């Protein structure tokens, strides 16, 4: 059997790459994609733990499904808002969405 560490490193890397993307990207779309990477890391984590443990493994798998569903809902909404902002300002760059600054 593949050691559990391999999967944990994979999910940790995905999460870290996603977090780096969130902090470094300036386009709202790319930030959303980075969030998706973070969530993919989380889902892999849940599935790994669920399959390497013998007790109550189901709840981990169910959790992964909920993560995927909720992420889809969130991205759908986010794209709607980005689209509206884009129509008003012709940009999806979060640096230029800065009318709310002190």
Partner 1 sequence: MTFFDQVHAVGPALALYAGAGAVLSADLLQGRRASIWGLAVVAGVVSLGWTLAQLIVGVEAGALGGAVRVDAFSIYLAAIIGGVVLAVTLAAREWASTLEQAAEFYALLLVSAGSMVLLAQAEDLITLFVALETTSIAQFILVGITRNDRSSEAGLKYLLTGAVAAAILLYGFAFLFGMAGTTSLEGIAVWVASAPEAQRLPLMLAFVFVAVGIGFKMALVPSHAWAPDVYEGSPALVATFLSVASKAAGFAVAMRLFYTALGGGDTFISQDWGKMFAVLAALSMIVGNTGALLQTNAKRLLGYSSIAQAGNIAVGLAAVAAGSTAGPSGVLFFLGAYAVTNVGAFVVVSLVADRLGSEQIADYAGLVKRSPAAAIVLSLCLVSLTGIPPTAGFVAKVYVFNAAVQSGERWLLALVAFAVLNTAISAFYYLRWVRTMILDEPRDATPFRASGGVQFVLAVSAVGVLLFGLDPSPLIQAAQDAAAALL
Could you list the residues that contact partner 1 (CB under 8 A)? Answer: 11, 15, 18-19, 22, 28, 31-32, 35, 38-39, 41-42, 45-46, 48-50, 53, 55-56, 59-60, 62-63, 66-67, 70, 73-74, 77-78, 81-82, 84-85, 88-89, 94, 97, 99-102
Distance separating alpha carbons of residues 78 and 33, to the nearest angstrom: 11
Question: Cβ–Cβ contacts within 10 Å for residue 73, how many?
Answer: 9
Pick the closest to residue 70 from 78, 80, 59, 58 (CA basis). Answer: 78
Instruction: Please report how close the Cβ of residue 41 comes to partner 1 at its closest, in angstroms.
Output: 7
Distance separating alpha carbons of residues 66 and 48, to the nearest angstrom: 16
Instruction: Please report how close the Cβ of residue 100 comes to partner 1 at its closest, in angstroms.
Output: 4
Longest dimension (CA), the chain: 56
Smaller CB separation from partner 1, 2 or 73: 73
Are 5 and 69 spatial neighbours (Cβ–Cβ below 8 Å)?
no
Instruction: Please report how close the Cβ of residue 1 comes to partner 1 at its closest, in angstroms.
Output: 17
Smaller CB separation from partner 1, 6 or 59: 59
């Amino acid at each position: 059997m593949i050691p559990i560490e391999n999967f944990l490193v994979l999910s940790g890397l995905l999460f870290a790459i996603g977090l780096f993307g969130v902090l470094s990207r300036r386009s709202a779309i790319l930030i959303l994609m980075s969030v998706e990477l973070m969530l993919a890391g989380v889902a892999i984590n849940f599935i790994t733990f669920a399959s390497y443990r013998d007790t109550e493994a189901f709840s981990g798998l169910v959790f992964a499904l909920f993560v995927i569903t909720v992420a889809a809902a969130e991205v759908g909404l986010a794209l709607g808002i980005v689209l509206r902002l884009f129509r008003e300002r012709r940009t999806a760059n979060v640096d230029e969405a800065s009318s709310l600054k002190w």
